[in-house]
A = this chain, B = another copy of it.
């Protein structure tokens, strides 16, 4: 996006149209286990109801594609722009974020009709020949919707975990069948390297431009940290020792009473964890998830290590190749134990990995033009980058150059830790 592309061949539009169709169907599938009541819950201001995700992703296509592509465009409903705009100032006022849970109307079934109508009109627009720049926007819309697929799952998880009944979204994920392989630190060379997206394939504006940077020699952990390792951190007073924490993190520990990752609950002498399939015992072999940057950073300090930087991670991931992560499509919706294989494993899928890089613009960064320029650029302060992809990420959504970002206290994403060390 926002970079020069070759003229759009017929094939590209058709490919994008097909991709949109698949993504749109998948979103509805992900919402299928939810009742209309489930789809309304907003359990904290950072999360949104599933119904809102269903509407918002549709509004995105309606507003940024159909409104420009259709000659006689008419909005499905005059108030949906207000209801389903997320944060685009240029697109007008909107329902306050913390009040998305008040929207009993429109009912879920009407939002599904909204989806169906917009899908049909999108198909018609593609059929009539969409201008290349709108094909670009439509492709962005598909990637955008995949991001909301993941948020739909993280938000349902938070909502269900907030219910005293702890309902299950799907089947209970079994504990891993194998232990986690021993942790190794893999040495990595320094020097001038290149990171960022290049070439014609889709990437977000924040992944561009590809540019050079300098790396010092370092080492990366062969796999993400496990729940077993996290239990050792806890047993060693990890949540009670100020010297392990950044000042802001220590404040968060005390203000929020953190003593374990989010969704962990004491169960007799041990710990149970809420999964999207319900409660079960914490499994040592699983990568730990639902930890904040602050927890990840303290854990790394405790381990005599540090978190990786963006370039360290990206160069390694680009070299490592695709890997065998467990993405959302696998249906487990919970990370699994790492494979016993030399080198760096589980770089994508399973858990997002906190880096110690603040989220900011790359040298020469140019946001998209118009309202879509608000997509990524306006969040470039006070957040940290996560890399990888998780068990709730749609397969095929991520790339080595992909940059996820959240504030340092966020825990409701599937966020874990890969350690790094100076050489």
Contact = CB atoms under 8 A, between A and B. Distances in A.
Interface of A: 35-38, 40-41, 43, 79, 82-83, 87, 89-90, 95, 99, 101-108, 159, 162-165, 167, 192, 211-214, 216, 218, 242-243, 245-250, 293-294, 297, 306, 356-358, 360-361, 363-364, 373-374, 378-382, 384, 408, 422
A151 to B, nearest CB: 17
A292 B204 CA distance: 29
B162 A99 contact: yes
A37 B36 contact: yes
B293 A104 contact: no
Given A192-B214, A422-B364, A102 B41 contact: yes
Contacts of A422: 363-364
Contacts of A106: 165
A107 B248 CA distance: 32
Given A37-B108, A211-B216, 19 more contacts: A35-B104, A35-B107, A37-B107, A41-B101, A41-B102, A43-B102, A89-B242, A89-B243, A103-B163, A105-B163, A216-B363, A243-B373, A293-B381, A294-B381, A297-B381, A306-B361, A358-B358, A358-B381, A381-B408
B378 A102 contact: no
The 5 A-B residue pairs with the shortest CB-CB distance, nearest first, are: A358-B358, A89-B242, A37-B104, A38-B104, A216-B363
Contacts of A379: 246-248
A214 B192 CA distance: 8
A37 B110 CA distance: 12
Contacts of A357: 360
Contacts of A246: 378-381
Nearest to A101: B101
Nearest to A423: B364
A40 B105 CA distance: 11
Contacts of A103: 163-164
Contacts of A294: 381
Contact of A36 (B35, B214, B247, B382): B35
Contact of A83 (B37, B164, B213, B378): B164
Given A37-B37, A243-B90, A358-B358, A165 B105 contact: yes
A245 B378 contact: yes
19 contacts: A35-B104, A36-B36, A37-B107, A41-B104, A79-B164, A83-B164, A87-B247, A89-B242, A102-B162, A105-B167, A192-B192, A192-B214, A218-B363, A247-B374, A248-B381, A297-B381, A356-B360, A363-B422, A381-B384
Nearest to A77: B165
A104 to B, nearest CB: 4
A246 to B, nearest CB: 5
Contacts of A250: 89, 378
A37 B38 contact: no
